[in-house]
Amino acid sequence: MPKNDLVLVEIKDRVALLTLNRPEAMNALNSALMLELMDTLEELDRDDSLGCFVLTGSAKAFAAGADIKEMAEASSIDMLLKDHIGPFDRITRIGKPIIAAVSGWCLGGGNELAMSCDMILAAEGAKFGQPEINLGVMPGAGGTQRLTRAVGKAIAMEMVLNNRTLSAAEALQYGLVNKVVPDERYMEDALALAAEIAARAPLALRMGKQAVNRALETHLADGIAEERHAFYFLFSSEDQKEGMRAFSEKRKPDWKGK
């Protein structure tokens, strides 16, 4: 596993906790951190003993955005040739569910990273925003697209054009996050949610995640057709037989991920 300690990994049972580790810079997402994060996620995704990931930052900041100091003097050509935002796409190809456990600042690229996860659990003091307008730019890693799909045009426009910051309660109200919990409980609750999900049928999780994400990308008829293929496909798994037999036999299923 790549190790510059920009991302810390702890594994407990079937859950991997990934912690962004640049606390001195509010977890600003520089290139080295993004590469380490994506390499780590891809490696963990290949490990069948894991069922779910939690991605978190520090209590003060999930992440305060892309690293402004790293890109301040870059030209358009530098950004293009380095494919500065490319690593952000890699998280969308991870098969296992990822829960973002957000406390403190969740800004710019940090919010875009959280929105690329599958669920967001927020501490009540968390703050969500797209402050790129203050830097003379705009969001570049999904902050106009995923955000608008999540909160709708009205709130997205305020966030992108006028740096409106959402409290955790507002983020819940507008559909950006799944759940808000007391500050002191966010890690514990995120890990408990992840453990619950990690205990579920692995193939059904993987295909269900993929199908829900497709809903944001495709036309209804195509999405419905893909969903149906995935549903039929799961009938070739041992877990489908096990799940349905266990129901009839009134016992807990024993999932194999096969």
Cβ atoms of residues 42 and 12 within 8 Å: no
> Helix, strand, coil % (nearest 5) of the chain?
50, 15, 35
For the bound state, the minimum distance from the C-beta of residue 137 to ligand HXC, rounded and expressed in Å, comes to: 7
* 18 vs 11: CA distance, rounded Å: 9
* 219 vs 6: CA distance, rounded Å: 39
Give the distance, in angstroms, between the CA of residue 173 and the centroid of all CA atoms in the same chain: 19
Residues near ligand HXC (CB under 6 A), total: 21
Nearer to ligand HXC, 133 or 234 (CB): 133
Nearer to ligand HXC, 138 or 192 (CB): 138
Q: Which residue is nearest to ligand HXC (CB)?
A: 108
Residues 115-144 that bind ligand HXC (CB under 6 A): 131-132, 134-135, 140-141
Among 6, 66, 115, 181, binds ligand HXC (CB under 6 A): 66
The catalytic residue among 132, 141, 201, 204 is: 132
Among 20, 28, 126, 207, binds ligand HXC (CB under 6 A): 28
Helices within 117-152 (DSSP H only): 146-151
Nearer to ligand HXC, 139 or 202 (CB): 139
* 184 vs 58: CA distance, rounded Å: 12
Interacting stretch for ligand HXC, rule CB under 6 A, among 10-18, 21-29, 168-176, 227-235? 21-29
Active site annotation includes 63: no
Active site annotation includes 10: no
Start-to-end Cα distance in the chain: 26
* 239 vs 218: CA distance, rounded Å: 28
Active site annotation includes 112: yes
Nearer to ligand HXC, 105 or 255 (CB): 105
- By CB under 6 A, residue 109 contacts ligand HXC: yes
For the bound state, the minimum distance from the C-beta of residue 17 to ligand HXC, rounded and expressed in Å, comes to: 23
Cβ atoms of residues 110 and 101 within 8 Å: no
Nearer to ligand HXC, 69 or 250 (CB): 69
Give the distance, in angstroms, between the CA of residue 78 and the centroid of all CA atoms in the same chain: 27
Cβ atoms of residues 99 and 198 within 8 Å: no
* 212 vs 25: CA distance, rounded Å: 34
Active site annotation includes 208: no
The catalytic residue among 65, 109, 129, 143 is: 109
Retrieve residue 59's tokens: 């209590």
Closest residue by Cα to residue 37 from 60, 61, 63, 13: 63
Site string for ligand HXC, 139-168 (x = CB under 6 A): -xx---------------------------
Q: Report the interface residues with ligand HXC, using CB under 6 A.
A: 25-26, 28, 64-69, 85, 105, 107-109, 112, 131-132, 134-135, 140-141
Which residues belong to the active site? 66, 109, 112, 132
